[in-house]
Amino acid sequence: MPVATTLSRFKPLIAIRDGITTTIPLIIVGSFFMILANFPVAAWTAWIGSVSMHGVALLSIFTKITNGSFGLLGLIGCFGIASSYAEQFHTDGKSAGIIAVASYFVVTPSIFTGGKAPAEACHTTFWVPRACLSASSSACSPAAFSSGSSTTTCRSTCLIPYRRPLVKASPR
């Protein structure tokens, strides 16, 4: 029992528990309408597919409610976990939740691409001057960029895309 007691006092686990608890109403609503939309009786599914309200099929309405409630689970859970974790340290939970939701949007890749490939969440392609990629060019070294000594030289070169190679951690 001491292990369970220790784990029950672990602040990150408490935050996850409380954050997921805030999503329970969405889970209940989404599950209820999912059951109504996919009830395993052929007559029921045929009926809700044929009945329409204002030109929209009842099955479509149930599906939109299900997708909407389940689609918000990650967002509400993110807010709830961050808020609970901040409140355990006696800080402003709402601000932490808002920052967490903003971070959630920043790192989530865009799915609205208009038929193109989805955007990456963490970009590894940067536009750099062509001269900066040549080993013999010391005028456009990163040190020269930060000192501002050769900005006219670097700006005169054309920009090309450069994919940053993944760097492996060195063994210690």
Q: Hey, where are the domains in the chain?
A: 10-107, 125-163
For 95-110, give the DSSP string.
HHHHHHHHHHHHHSPP
Angstrom distance (rounded) from CA 97 to CA 86:
8
Instruction: Read off the pTM.
Output: 0.60
**Cα-Cα end-to-end distance for the chain:** 38
8 Å CB contact between 97 and 76: no
Tens-digit pLDDT profile for the chain (172 aa)? 688 888 888 999 999 999 999 999 999 999 999 999 999 999 998 999 899 889 899 999 999 999 999 989 999 999 999 999 999 999 999 999 999 999 998 887 766 556 666 555 444 444 444 454 444 444 444 444 444 444 444 444 454 554 555 555 555 5
State both tokens at 84.
């609970």
User: Taking the CA atoms of the chain, what radius of gyration do you get in angstroms?
Assistant: 26
